Structure 1
């Protein structure tokens, strides 16, 4: 969950929303225990909702989200207000990820954390769905190459677009007119393709998992050479 914003769905507690799911866009961060933390204003509609019923869900889309074929995850659980040292720790984690969010210093903001994660649902695209247990969620680690994804994709798209197209044809048998990398992770590339006047996205797996920026470079070089030698 590398994004800075997501959609928080609460159970409406007042007015026309009472009893209905209510979705709002919020900023979040993950603390050192892997739990989502938030700063909510007392003026926000989701704050009284959570105080009335702590059950809610946070939906976060992949950085390269294009539509229904793109990845997203929904984490469901109970959110609690924090105080004292716990609030200070949440603030530190939140501002490390969202340093521009000066408004959390306003007096009407409080700190919250989704302590009780009940389940999570990962959708990697059409037909790629996995239900995640609380134990699996707690044990999950950040992708080791996520922080390098944007500059690598930009470099490949600007200077090696022909290599992307060649790798697609060699590795998964797709012949396209043009292609560009939307995003990447330790397991492969998400690619936007154009062929015959149609646009679609596809997944190009790496030949092995990448654990560093150097690994990504080495793997792409190997795959490019293999495609060129075909």
Structure 2
């Protein structure tokens, strides 16, 4: 848990660099949050290729999160994992910085709904809410498709398609709401749909 997994082409310079020296940093932020006032975290560690018996597992996780056409699903890409995390540095915007304790980070557990539900919950939620979410997210700009790709106790990440362009948008559930079950997720999403406006949207 909590160790990032990457998909790299063996032909890429960064892949060759990692094979020669596995030390690297990973900067994580919400898509579209590029300003200096927005939160981001930098993870320092060592990245190594996943064992052969874990490559297919990593591939399934990858295509579940990212839109991939049939011709793009394997190619010559290979999966890597940040095996050793040495430091974590969080920036919450101007004037907010902190080093995160690595041991504490590694002992944290994913939310109950993320562990117990997985792809089956997402399939069921998409069957119910994909079209209503598409309509909801088209209030300002028309979109062609919306699909839930992950869910946790605080909100859901939605892959949005506009023509050939894809991006990820984050919808937060109401403040103070802690979603743990499929039924609670349905109720939280239904509440957003009925309200007809997304107040907690990040993109």
Q: TM-score, normalised by structure 2?
A: 0.54
- Offset of residue 134 of structure 1: 2.2
- Offset of residue 69 of structure 1: 1.2
> Structure 1's 158 and 144: CA in aligned 2 closer, same or farther, altered over 3 A?
farther
Matched positions, count? 144
Select the structure of larger CA radius of gyration. 1
Structure 1 spans left out of the alignment, 5+ residues: 1-32, 160-181, 189-205, 222-230
For 1:10-29, what aligned pairs fall within 5 Å after superposition? none
User: Cα deviations across residues 123-159 of structure 1 (Å, max 9, x unaligned)?
Assistant: 22122223222223321536979x99xx88x959959
1:128 is matched with which residue?
96
> Structure 1's 58 and 142: CA in aligned 2 closer, same or farther, altered over 3 A?
farther
> Structure 1's 71 and 140: CA in aligned 2 closer, same or farther, altered over 3 A?
farther
> Structure 1's 184 and 76: CA in aligned 2 closer, same or farther, altered over 3 A?
same
Kept in 2: contact 1:36–1:114 (CA 8 A): yes
Bigger relative CO (Cα 8 Å, ≥ 6 apart): 2
- Offset of residue 87 of structure 1: 1.7
1:81 is matched with which residue?
49
RMSD value, Cα: 3.8
User: Cα deviations across residues 181-208 of structure 1 (Å, max 9, x unaligned)?
Assistant: x96546x7xxxxxxxxxxxxxxxxx4x3
* Residue of 22, 46, 68 corresponding to 1:54: 22
- Tell me how far apart the structure 2 counterparts of residues 123 and 143 of structure 1 sit (CA, whole Å): 27
More strand by share: 1
1:41 is matched with which residue?
9
* Residue of 91, 111, 116 corresponding to 2:84: 116
Structure 2 spans left out of the alignment, 5+ residues: 115-121, 126-131, 141-168, 196-203
For 1:165-176, what aligned pairs fall within 5 Å after superposition? none
Kept in 2: contact 1:64–1:70 (CA 8 A): no
3-state SS of 2:54 partner: helix
